[in-house]
Structure 1
Amino acid sequence: MDEMQLLREFAGPAGLPARDDLARKRAELVAATTARRPARRRPAMWGGLTAAGLAAAAAAVVVLAPADTAVSPGPEPRPSTDPVWILHTAAARARALPDVEPRPDQFVYTRTRLADGRENETWASADGTHDGLEFLFGHETEVAGCRDGKRVQREGRGRTATSRCTPRPAAHPDLPADADAMLAYLHRSTYGEGDTRHDLGNEVVDLAGGYLRPAARAALYEAVAKVPGLVARPDAKDATGRPVLGITWNSTTEHGIGNQDEFLFDPVTFAYLGNGTTGLVVSQGIVDAVRQRP
């Protein structure tokens, strides 16, 4: 007895299924085989990273820009001719960023691009007491930190120059998180040394270019929104010629000299891009040592 005969005796007589059953089963089979399978998560690829690369990645605690420009724009309309609206929108986006407090021994790294394509880099001490570094216009300069009220700056041929100083931190962990309190801080700050609008502009630009925790950055923008005489420049361009949103206000020094202070924002993400004169901010982050990049 062959295998086919055994199967016939085991299964018994069987007829063909009805035509309707065949059609239904065929449809079910097609649907099952064409259903979209869920995509599997691709495993992280570490093989291409060297030990040095991993160390550098671990050293950079946080990237501030252009990562801070990755905040998704909201659906709200954009009256780009209203400077107060622009500043409040920038404040809302800033407040949504991750809150990271740098350690005192870390550095704020900033890379800016000039109109001619050249780039400058700075490593500024988070608390103002550690020695930083600048690459400006092709020249490297060490920036001495201020310790015990003295700054010992190394000069050429092994010489040094000592001067009295007050630490100027690149990161400000304890700034006000309220617009009115921030405005009061700007008026009484040591660096401005006065409450003229020109001094206020210097204060604002100085703070905005460093690292601010999200609540403090938001408060800074909201404080600027209270300054009279703001003008929006929806047709502004950054140092590289890219269209941006500009906020300007005219000011006058105590000697009667007119000045114009300026903020530049990304027109989509409302991230701060610089003040229009020092170049476009293209990268910023917190690192553990000079010459490190985020």
Structure 2
Amino acid sequence: MDELQLLRDFAGPAELPARDDLTRKRAELLAAAARLRPRHRRAMWGGVTAAGLAAAIAAVVVLAPADEIARPIPAPEPEPVRILHAAAAKARALPDVTPRPDQFVYTKTRLADGRENETWASVDGTHDGLSFVFGHETFVAGCRGGKSRCVPHPAAPADLPTDADAMLAYLHKSTYGEGDTLHDLGREVVDLAGGHLRPAVRAALYEAVAKVPGLVARPDAKDATGRTVFGITWNSTTEHGIGNQDEFLFDPVTFAYLGSGMGAVVSQGIVDSVRQRP
């Protein structure tokens, strides 16, 4: 006689209960077994028929799904990686605002000594911008009209990678001519993060930085304005052997980018003309 078939005929078709019910029933079964004295346990198991034993085994199998027992516990993310991934998730949820090519990205930063700098950078790099840096007003010519040896530097670059690996490869194509070092990479990240990026691009930037080795988190860092921020740092060295510590700062609640070790971003937005402020 097939005891398992008898069990199927007796029980009939049934759907698996919810996972919470499975966990609770398994705990009740184990607790009941623990309360039995050894003599009673022997009597209980001694009187179990083959069909009953098959039913008990089936119940245990149902109550303890294999994937629940064998599922490995994931290792926690390192703190700097957790912060960067949280910043990426927040960035990806932001509205996608595309500025017009003739507009400007306005940025105001503050240094540790209290001085403030302002820049109006052309969205597409072809319009004339302006900057107030260290108290000096500087005209920034746009690249247009067939100027020789002219390369536009858009403040809101288009067609940047939206994938972390592709973004990391893009960052390694240094524009600073100092070699493929972490120092160069840090400068690239500061340049991009301080400008206007589409949400998917900004998220990819943070996820790419999360792949950089040697990251250190400073959850109680302060920026140049005195705000408490999350700081992400890594130690790097230029090709000339000069030590440098790059740092990227995030709001501890919104995870918005708040600047770098070179200065805190206190205001930023898209404007229609130079000298206009958001």
TM value normalised by structure 2: 0.68
Partner residue of 2:54? none
Distance 1:192 1:97 in 2: 34
Conserved 8 A contact 1:192-1:202: no
Distance 1:138 1:255 in 2: 31
Task: Please state if 1:284 is matched with 2:256.
Answer: no
The counterpart of 1:105, out of the listed 102, 121, 135, is 102
Distance 2:109 2:264 in 1: 5
Partner residue of 1:33? none
Q: 1:80 to 1:179 in 2, by over 3 A?
A: closer
Distance 2:176 2:253 in 1: 32
The counterpart of 1:137, out of the listed 134, 137, 156, is 134
Q: 1:197 to 1:149 in 2, by over 3 A?
A: farther
Task: Please state if 1:171 is matched with 2:156.
Answer: yes
- Deviation of 1:222 after TM superposition, in Å, equals 0.2
Higher RCO (CA < 8 A, seq sep 6+): 1
Distance 1:188 1:272 in 2: 23
Q: 1:82 to 1:209 in 2, by over 3 A?
A: same
- Deviation of 1:166 after TM superposition, in Å, equals 1.6
- Deviation of 1:192 after TM superposition, in Å, equals 6.0
Conserved 8 A contact 2:178-2:239: no
Conserved 8 A contact 2:219-2:229: yes
Partner residue of 2:83? 86
Distance 1:192 1:266 in 2: 32
Partner residue of 2:114? 117
Gaps of at least 5 residues in structure 1 are 1-78, 151-162
Conserved 8 A contact 1:234-1:245: yes
Distance 2:114 2:270 in 1: 24
Conserved 8 A contact 1:80-1:232: no
Partner residue of 1:196? 181
Specify the SS of the correspondent of 1:289: coil
Conserved 8 A contact 1:90-1:218: yes
Q: Give 1:175's aligned amino acid.
A: L
Q: 1:144 to 1:165 in 2, by over 3 A?
A: same
- Deviation of 1:207 after TM superposition, in Å, equals 0.4
- Deviation of 1:194 after TM superposition, in Å, equals 3.7
Conserved 8 A contact 1:106-1:286: yes
Moved over 4 A (4+): none
Distance 1:252 1:147 in 2: 36
Q: How large is the RMSD of aligned CA atoms in angstroms? A: 2.0
The counterpart of 1:240, out of the listed 225, 244, 248, is 225
**Higher helix proportion:** 2
Deviations 1:45-83 (A, max 9, x none): xxxxxxxxxxxxxxxxxxxxxxxxxxxxxxxxxx99700
Q: Which moved more, 1:261-270 or 1:194-203?
A: 194-203
Gaps of at least 5 residues in structure 2 are 1-75
- Deviation of 1:193 after TM superposition, in Å, equals 6.3
- Deviation of 1:247 after TM superposition, in Å, equals 0.3
Conserved 8 A contact 1:234-1:246: yes
Q: 1:117 to 1:198 in 2, by over 3 A?
A: closer
Specify the SS of the correspondent of 1:164: coil
Partner residue of 2:57? none
1:141-152 equivalence runs, <5 A: 141-148=138-145, 150=147
- Deviation of 1:114 after TM superposition, in Å, equals 2.8
Distance 2:142 2:227 in 1: 35
Task: Please state if 1:293 is matched with 2:277.
Answer: yes
Conserved 8 A contact 2:174-2:184: no
Task: Please state if 1:254 is matched with 2:251.
Answer: no
Q: Give 1:250's aligned amino acid.
A: N
Equivalent pairs: percent with the same residue?
A: 86
How many residues are treated as equivalent by the alignment?
A: 203
Q: Which moved more, 1:167-176 or 1:206-215?
A: 167-176
